[in-house]
Amino acid sequence: MDTHQKAWDKDYAGRGRLWGGAVLDLPLLPEGSVVLELGCGDGKTLSALPDGWKIVALDVSPQALRLARRVRSDANLILADAGRLPLRVGSFDAVFAFHVTGHLLARERSALAREAARALVPGGRLFFRDFSDQDMRAGQGDEVEPGTFRRGSGILTHYFTENEVGELFSSLQPVSISTHRWKLRIKGEDLVRAEVVAVFLKS
């Protein structure tokens, strides 16, 4: 296990379930659709996917998969790197990449984008969500690459612009790319969370 995997594993082992909140904007796909989640974590998105879909999900953290398995025992959960998928080309109607790409270095983000495109069937769609460079935490920690910061836990976070997301998935056709912002009040101060949310189509 490399340092990056260890950092995630330690987080899940120490804190158990990490991610709360609602899962927004899931697509309406027909029963029997085959879907892939990259970096499924403890299963937040998995918990919201309909029963009729065939679900494959992967993560680099064994601890995350242990938690996800409790949420979704019917899914095929795999210990794997999103940048090197042990899966057949053109197998998936949809790929979800929610808050995983932003935890990778530039070279690894490109590998994830290439693999996600490879995994989709023609007509399949990629659903992306990650923090924007307008997010309240952008700039915090040590900058290890332009726009990518390492904080105390050792976990990296890259903060995206909309253009950057379009370029990253340029082998796919953009359907929508937008920035969602919402306010958080922390210790009497209004702070802004911001995510780039995008959908791409494989033609």
Ligand X SMILES: C[S@@+](CC[C@H](N)C(=O)[O-])C[C@H]1O[C@@H](n2cnc3c(N)ncnc32)[C@H](O)[C@@H]1O
User: Would you tell me which residues interact with ligand X (CB under 6 A)?
Assistant: 8, 19, 38-41, 44-45, 58-61, 64, 81-83, 98-100, 103-104
3-class DSSP state of 175: strand
The CB-of-44 to ligand X minimum distance in angstroms stands at 4
Give the position of tokens 């398995």: 69
Q: What minimum distance in Å lies between the beta carbon of 155 and ligand X? A: 8
Question: Among residues 105 and 121, whose Cβ is nearest to ligand X?
Answer: 105
Name the helix (H) or strand (E) containing 166.
helix 162-168
Shortest CB 100 distance to ligand X, Å: 4
List the one residue out of 92, 76, 162 whose CA is nearest residue 126.
Answer: 92
Residues 9 and 62: beta-carbon distance below 8 Å = yes
For 24, residues 6+ apart whose C-beta sits below 8 A from its C-beta are none
Closer residue to ligand X (CB): 98 or 200:
98
- Residue 188 CB, shortest distance to ligand X, in Å, is 27
| CB nearer to ligand X: pick between 40 and 94 | 40
Distances (CA, A) of 66 to 3, 19, 59, 79, 98: 19, 15, 10, 10, 19
Q: Which is nearer to ligand X, 72 or 187 (by Cβ)?
A: 72
Closest to ligand X by CB, 151 vs 173, is: 151
> In 174-190, which positions are buried (b, 16+ CB within 10 angstroms) versus exposed (e)?
eeebebeeeeeeeeeee
CB of 203 to ligand X, least distance (A): 26
